[in-house]
Amino acid sequence: MTKHGTLGVAVIGTGRMGADHVRRITEVTSGARVAAVVDIDAERAKQLAGRIDGCTAYSDTAAAMADPDVDAVLIASPGPAHEAALLQAFAHDLPVLCEKPLTPDAASALRVLEAEQRLGHRRVSVGFMRRYDAEYLKLKELLDSGRFGRTLMLHCKHRNVATPPGFTNQMMINDSVVHEIDTTRWLLDQEITAVTVLRPTPSAAAPDALSDPQLVLFETSGGSVVDVEIFVNCGFGYQVQCEAVGESGSARIGDGHAMVTHSGGRWGGEIDQDFVTRFEEAYDREVQRWVDATRRGETEGPSAWDGYAAAAVCEAGVRAQATGERTPTGLVERPAFYR
Ligand code: NAD
C-alpha cells in the first residue's frame, strides 16, 4: 500500500486542528510521517514544514497530492474547502481522513458520495472522533449487547466555556450538535428522521444574536427520541455527557470523574476546558486506527455516507431552529455501496 513502508501523509490546512494532527503524526502515531503540509497561508505551511524532517510545504493542494512521497491525505482545512480536496484525492486514488464536516451541506456531500462510488472503492474516513473515545466505546458495546433491551432515549449535554467572536446560531448546530448527530446515529445504529429545536430565553452571558442555550430533539428511524442541551457559553467548562435509557437499565458517560478530591468539607474534581484535552486520546486513537487500516490497504471508520447523513440532519436542524417547527430530515436512500 505505502510506497516507503511508513505512510507519508499530506496534512491540508495547518490551523488549530491541522497543526495538532501534524504534532500527533510526528510525535504520537506509529507507522506514519508528515510528508507534506498545505496551507493557503504559505508562510504558515513553510514554518511548520521547516520543523519536520523530509516535509515539504505547499500552498496548492493538487501539487501536494502529486508529490511521490504522499501516500494519504488528512484534510483539516475549513469545511467549505473539503469537497475540492476530496475530489482531488479521488483523482489520485489516495486514502483520506477528512475532519468533520465531510462538506458543509447535503448537496455537496452527495456529490462526494457519487464521486467515491465512481472510484469503485471506499477511500474516505470522516473525523468523528467521539467514536474512538473510551467512554463512548464502552457505551456502544453495552447498547449493542442488548443487556438493557432496546434503547428508548438518549439525554445528551454539550457545553462549552465560551464562543469565539462571530459564532452563530447555525454554528451551534453545524459545528457543535453535529457531534451528537453522529453519535446518535452510531450508538443507535439508526437514522435521524426529524429535528425540533426549542429556544429558552437566552442566558444573560449569551453574546448578542446568539440564542444560548437551545434544546435540540431528534426522532429516529427505530422510534427512539434524543434530546441535546447545547449551551456554548456556560462559563464553567467543556462538558459532553450522554445518558442512554434502555428498557431495563440506563448508562451515563461524561461525568469526568477521573479523580475526585475531598478537602475542607467539600468533594470535587476538575472539568476539561476544551475538546482538545477532553478528546485527546480519541484523536490519537482515530489517527492511529486510520494509519493502521490504510497501511493494510483498508478503509474503516465513519464513511462518506455518515458525513452526508450528518450534513443532511444539520440542514434540517438549522431550518428547525429558524422556524421552530418539527422538520423531517429527508435523507436519500442509502446506496448499497455504503451498507
Ligand atoms: P482553523 O481556521 O484554525 O485552520 C484552518 C486552516 O486551513 C488555516 O490555516 C487556513 O489558512 C487553512 N486553509 C483555508 N482554506 C484552505 C484551503 N483551501 N487549502 C488549504 N488550507 C486552507 O480551523 P480549525 O479549527 O483547525 O478547523 C479545521 C477543520 O477541523 C474544520 O473542518 C473543522 O470543522 C474541524 N474541526 C474538528 C474538530 C473535532 O473535534 N473533530 C474540532 C475543531 C475543528
Same domain flag for 189 and 123? no
Inside any domain, residue 34: yes
pLDDT tens digits, one per residue of 77-113 = 999 999 999 999 999 999 999 999 999 999 999 999 9
Predicted TM-score of the model (pTM): 0.96
**Which cell numbers hold the place of 159?**
457545553
Closest atom of ligand 1 to 77 CA is 7
Q: How far is the CA of 299 from the centre of ligand 1 (A)?
A: 23
Full residue range of the structural domain in which residue 265 is found: 131-274+311-328
Q: How confident is the model at residue 3 (pLDDT cuts 50, 70, 90)?
A: low
Q: Same domain for 244 and 234?
A: yes
pLDDT-derived band at 131 (thresholds 50, 70, 90) equals very high
Angle at the Cα of 248 from the Cα atoms of 243 and 251, rounded to 5 degrees: 20
| Atom of ligand 1 lying closest to residue 14 CA | 9
At 2, the pLDDT band (50, 70, 90 cuts) reads low
Residue 193 inside a domain? The answer is yes
Average pLDDT of the chain is: 96
Q: Quick one: which of 312, 309, 318 has its CA closest to 338?
A: 309
- Facing residues of 328 across strands? 194
Please give the distance, rounded to the nearest whole angstrom, from the Cα atom of residue 214 to the centre of ligand 1.
25
What pLDDT shows up at residue 258? 79
Residues 155 and 89 in one domain: no
Does ligand 1 lie within 6 Å of residue 10's CB atom? Answer: no
Q: Is residue 1 part of a domain?
A: no
C-alpha cell at 130: 467521539
Q: Helix, strand or coil for residue 228?
A: strand
For residues 171-179, give the mean pLDDT. Answer: 97
Average pLDDT over residues 133-143: 98
Contact 275 CB / ligand 1 (< 6 Å): yes
Is 2 part of any domain? no
Q: How many domains does the chain have?
A: 2
Which atom of ligand 1 lies at the shortest distance from residue 81's CA? 18
User: 337 in a domain, yes or no?
Assistant: no
pLDDT tens digits for range 257-315 = 779 999 999 999 999 999 999 999 999 999 999 999 999 999 999 999 999 999 999 99
Cα separation, 80 vs 83, whole angstroms? 7
